[in-house]
Amino acid sequence: ELKVEQNPLFLSMQEEKNYTIYCNYSTTSDRLYWYRQDPGKSLESLFVLLSNGAVKQEGRLMASLDTKARLSTLHITAAVHDLSATYFCAVDNRSNDMRFGAGTRLTVKP
């Protein structure tokens, strides 16, 4: 059974600092997704990573995928308050469903 583990689960950052969120998964997959969720809101797609070595960047966020290590990272550069949210990684289970990590609740403080 596919298991997806994220860490840390809680992250409190100061503005302008850098940090990385990690997403490990247990079985072979080359499709990984990052979503953002604001409190009480739906899931907003951030990145779709479809191959080993894939790297995508949008603003202060950069995501990468290493399928051999079964690891994806979401790197935050020079954090700002607007990035405060919960970030989920999700892995395609190849059975027409996605399995989500537990989420990382990010708080960016001034």
The residues binding other proteins (CB under 8 A) are 31, 33, 35, 41-45, 48, 50, 88, 90, 92-93, 95-103
Nearer to other proteins, 14 or 52 (CB): 52
Of 108, 86, 71, 76, which is closest to residue 35 (Cα–Cα)?
A: 86
Q: How far is the CB of 51 from other proteins (least distance, A)?
A: 11
Nearer to other proteins, 31 or 60 (CB): 31
Nearer to other proteins, 74 or 90 (CB): 90
Measured CA to CA in angstroms, residue 15 lies from 44, 84, 104 at distances of 22, 10, 17
Place of tokens 């990385």: 20
Q: How far is the CB of 90 from other proteins (least distance, A)?
A: 8
Q: How far is the CB of 18 from other proteins (least distance, A)?
A: 25
Q: What is the C-alpha to C-alpha distance for residues 69 and 26, in angstroms, rounded to an integer?
A: 10
Nearer to other proteins, 77 or 107 (CB): 107
